[in-house]
């Protein structure tokens, strides 16, 4: 298996945490991979001291040199992709091909951030009178706390680390404990590239021992969080005392609108492949499917056909196209929402439970259902599982109403051949990202984030770096 439990990283050096040991489990086999030593509150305090020291060093490095460093890190990520991807599959269960694409995407985020670092410029503001001038400059906010989820541990960590470094900030990374070794391998790329000691710090630990103490520290000036809306609200409350800047990428429940003039075959295949990617454990995953009644049967048949072709198994097998759910909690939730929908009259077209003959692993079949009651849990709460509910509508106004009915507003998807319909519907959809005839909305050059209770702030794209910068205005009267 060749799995070595990771350590904390303080000042570019590995060290063991002083908290308890936590087993890391392979979700495909339920075997223990190893044990990671968690940090305690004293470790968190020491980590912050290193991060403050690292900020003092890194902020003095000019933007072009920062850009060169980010490209060097990206090169190491690409070079070490096979091993990082292997760790990612062992810890999360996702198919190795998906894991490799995630690692490559992480490298692309560092390359994009390198470009953004070079574009940081000041601006001169005309003075109101003679003999004066105004100058607007950007300065890094300070120490950043990056809190990431287990579903895309490499990509989520990379987005936060690279943009913080591009701006001149130091960053403390606290990933989910379910996937520690792959993130440690990513951080090691940063260390081996030659970053100053403390520019990147790695912590594993419980919210009580690590996150709460750091949230109370004034020296932590910025937090970037990816996770549930419930936890996001707690962090927002904790941030108030020290007025931290926040980027919040919270939960989603993305609607898919298949309009009457859509290419049905293309829509069914694209939507199904996106839905079952990473076993449905994607914040921007299409998860509520509203199809024009005239197209419903053809769309559903195509969707089910894709679901039935998926091969479940251990993600290290390259022929596998869908792995297990990452945690037993997610499998329990999948069973609960299917049972609730079935109780309310839903028709299960394929899947619906654990695959027969599989005695280990958190596997759940790709599941498609129709005739789903509007009060079903799966249409109200984010599923985050490989369970797809298909509903119908008769006119576009009805579909838009369904799409905007929830407080989630991360992503949405529209399938249509009409530019007029695409423009009109996308403008009225309440979401931070809209895919038209595509489910690809997460790219380094595109701003990723939501509206309403899906959060605020953006990661990626040309504006993300500004969330890590303070604007300083200097007005000078020349004597």
| Residues tagged active-site | 249, 283
Calpha distance 277→464 (Å, rounded): 26
Residue 412, SS3?
Answer: strand
**Structure-token match 């913080």, residue found:** 164
Residue 294, SS3?
Answer: coil
Q: Where in 243-340 does DSSP place strands (E)?
A: 245-249, 254-258, 286-292
Calpha distance 252→454 (Å, rounded): 6
Q: In 10 A of CB 471, how many CB atoms?
A: 11
Give the up-direction half-sphere exposure of residue 444: CA atoms within 13 A in the CB hemisphere.
Answer: 21
Q: What are residue 289's DSSP bridge partners?
A: 256, 390
- 351 Cβ contact partners less than 8 Å away, ≥ 6 residues apart: 307, 364, 365, 366, 367, 368, 386, 387
Give the up-direction half-sphere exposure of residue 454: CA atoms within 13 A in the CB hemisphere.
Answer: 25
Sign of CA dihedral 84, 90, 94, 97: positive
Q: Encoding tokens for residue 439? A: 């489910």
Q: In 10 A of CB 178, how many CB atoms?
A: 18
Inter-residue contact 459 to 420 (CB < 8 Å): no
Inter-residue contact 76 to 84 (CB < 8 Å): no
Calpha distance 238→234 (Å, rounded): 6
Inter-residue contact 150 to 229 (CB < 8 Å): no
């Amino acid at each position: 298996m060749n799995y070595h439990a990771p350590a904390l990283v303080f000042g570019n050096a590995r060290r063991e945490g002083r908290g308890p040991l936590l087993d890391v489990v392979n979700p495909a086999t339920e075997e223990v991979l190893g044990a990671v030593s968690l940090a305690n509150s004293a470790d968190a305090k020491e980590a912050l001291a290193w991060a403050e020291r690292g900020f003092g060093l890194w902020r003095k490095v000019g933007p072009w040199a920062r850009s060169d460093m980010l490209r060097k890190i990206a090169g190491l990520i690409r070079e070490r992709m096979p091993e990082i991807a292997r760790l990612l599959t062992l810890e999360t269960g996702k198919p190795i091909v998906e894991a490799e694409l995630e690692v490559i995407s992480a490298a692309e985020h560092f390359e994009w951030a390198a470009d953004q670092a070079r574009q940081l410029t000041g601006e001169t503001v005309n003075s109101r009178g003679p003999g004066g001038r105004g100058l607007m400059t950007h300065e890094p906010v300070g120490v950043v706390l990056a809190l990431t989820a287990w579903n895309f541990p490499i990509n989520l960590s990379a987005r936060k680390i690279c943009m913080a470094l591009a701006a001149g900030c130091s960053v403390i990374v606290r990933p989910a404990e379910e996937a520690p070794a792959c993130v440690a391998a990513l951080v090691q790329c940063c260390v081996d590239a030659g970053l100053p000691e403390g520019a990147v710090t790695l912590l594993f630990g419980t919210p009580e021992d690590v996150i709460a103490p750091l949230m109370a520290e004034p020296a932590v000036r910025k937090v970037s969080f990816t996770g549930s809306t419930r936890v996001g609200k707690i962090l927002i409350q904790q941030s108030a005392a020290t007025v931290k800047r926040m980027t919040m990428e919270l939960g989603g429940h993305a609607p898919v609108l298949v309009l009457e003039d859509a290419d049905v075959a293309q829509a069914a295949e694209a939507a199904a492949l996106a839905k079952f990617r990473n076993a449905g454990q994607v914040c921007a995953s299409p998860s509520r499917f509203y199809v024009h009644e005239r197209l419903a049967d053809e769309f559903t048949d195509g969707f089910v056909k894709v679901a039935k072709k998926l091969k479940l198994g251990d993600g290290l097998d390259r022929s596998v196209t869908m792995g297990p759910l990452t945690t037993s909690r997610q499998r329990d939730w999948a069973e609960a929402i299917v049972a609730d929908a079935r109780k309310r009259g839903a028709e299960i077209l394929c899947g619906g439970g654990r695959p027969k003959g599989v005695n280990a692993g958190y596997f759940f079949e790709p599941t498609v259902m129709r005739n789903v009651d509007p009060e079903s849990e799966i249409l109200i709460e984010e599923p985050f599982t490989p369970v797809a509910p298909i509903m119908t509508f008769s006119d576009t106004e009805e579909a838009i109403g369904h799409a905007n009915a929830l407080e989630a507003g991360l992503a949405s998807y529209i399938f249509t051949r009409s530019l007029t319909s695409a423009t009109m519907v996308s403008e009225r959809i309440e979401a931070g990202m809209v895919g038209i005839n595509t489910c690809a909305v997460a790219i380094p050059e595109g701003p990723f984030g939501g509206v309403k209770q899906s959060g605020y702030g953006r990661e990626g794209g040309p504006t993300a770096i500004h969330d890590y910068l303070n604007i300083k205005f200097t007005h000078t009267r020349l004597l």
